Amino acid sequence: MDTKFIREIKIRKEEIPKDSYLREIPAICSVNTVRFEKPVTFFVGENGSGKSTLLEGIAVAYGFNPEGGTRNFNFSTKDTHSELSQAVSVLKGIKRPRDEFFLRAESFYNVATQIDEYEREQGQYLKYYGGKSLHCQSHGESFLSLVQNRFLGEGLYLLDEPEAALSPQRQLTLLYLIHELVKKGSQFIIATHSPILLGLPDAEIYSLDNGVISGIPYEDADCYRIMKLFINDKDLFLRQLLQGE
């Protein structure tokens, strides 16, 4: 049985406003359908390639708050999300997720603030986040605390650059947690630059570079190739970069 909560998305490009900057993102304008065949799907690409924009469009079209959180989060610090969600149709799976969360590195501070506000209003709210305000932890600790305490399994989790606050060691911890949550029936869609996270076994990797959205093997991801070149011969890499040799 197909247990994925999002099976595919369709982008109706004719519904993107003609003056929208989205029309200047080749990868988004080049595709009609993106299918999700694996429990974990990664979006990779250079800055400006559209990976975070695409993830955000899927999240908002699905019903998440644009700044992140669960679908029950209803707040807005600053309305900056794109119009892409209005042109995205989400084909959902047969089974509904038990748990859901949209994590955005750039607005996680706002989500943490809102969690504190819900605690003041309702009480007993922080128990779902480790029992301590996320603002009372380091940025990286709060990220992991969220995943360890709030992600329950059998869930749909959309993560935008979750490695932003994490050391390489903590990225390995996150990789392990994702692996364990997948074993509990979860689905992840993740935009990332991390060659560590991309190493998760049996994940689908979609590259948004070169103006298209295409599946690639791990070894073809630019973030992996650059890191490998740097580690294998740092001195040569730096000479070529800094001295143009």
pLDDT number for residue 72:
67
The average confidence (pLDDT) of the chain is 87
Measured over the CA atoms of residue 177, residue 85, residue 105 and residue 79, the dihedral's sign is: negative
143-195 pLDDT per residue, tens: 888 898 889 999 999 999 999 889 999 999 999 999 999 999 999 999 999 99
6-63 pLDDT per residue, tens: 999 999 988 888 888 899 999 998 889 999 999 999 999 999 899 999 999 999 999 9
CATH number of the domain at 236, please. Answer: 3.40.50.300
Give the chain's domain count. 1
- Which residues 6+ apart lie within 8 Å of 162 measured at CB? 103, 105, 143, 174, 190, 192, 197
- Which residues 6+ apart lie within 8 Å of 117 measured at CB? 75
pLDDT number for residue 144:
85
DSSP string for 8-23: EEEE-GGGS-TT-GGG
In a domain, 66, yes or no: yes
In a domain, 1, yes or no: no
Say how far apart CA 206 and CA 217 lie, in whole Å.
9
Residue range(s) defining the domain that contains residue 226: 6-243
- pLDDT level of residue 73 (50, 70, 90 thresholds): low
The CA angle 162-165-166, to the nearest 5 degrees, is 85
What average pLDDT does this structure show over 208-223?
94
Of the listed ranges 64-68, 117-121, 176-180, the one predicted with least confidence: 117-121
In a domain, 57, yes or no: yes
pLDDT number for residue 82:
66
Q: Is 166 helix (H, G, I), strand (E, B) or coil?
A: coil
Q: Which of 143, 184, 189 is nearest to 162 (CA)?
A: 143
The CA angle 103-154-180, to the nearest 5 degrees, is 80
pLDDT number for residue 79:
54
- pLDDT level of residue 124 (50, 70, 90 thresholds): low
pLDDT number for residue 78:
54
Say how far apart CA 160 and CA 237 lie, in whole Å.
29
The pairs formed by 9-14 with CB atoms below 8 angstroms and a separation of 24 or more are 9/33, 9/34, 9/58, 9/61, 9/88, 9/89, 9/90, 9/91, 10/88, 10/89, 10/91, 11/57, 11/84, 11/87, 11/88, 12/87, 12/88, 12/89, 13/87
Would you say 90 and 33 are in contact if contact means Cβ atoms under 8 Å apart?
A: no
List phi, psi (to 5°) of 65: -65, 135
Tell the residue number behind the tokens 């606050």, with chain if given. 165
The verdict on pTM exceeding 0.75 is yes
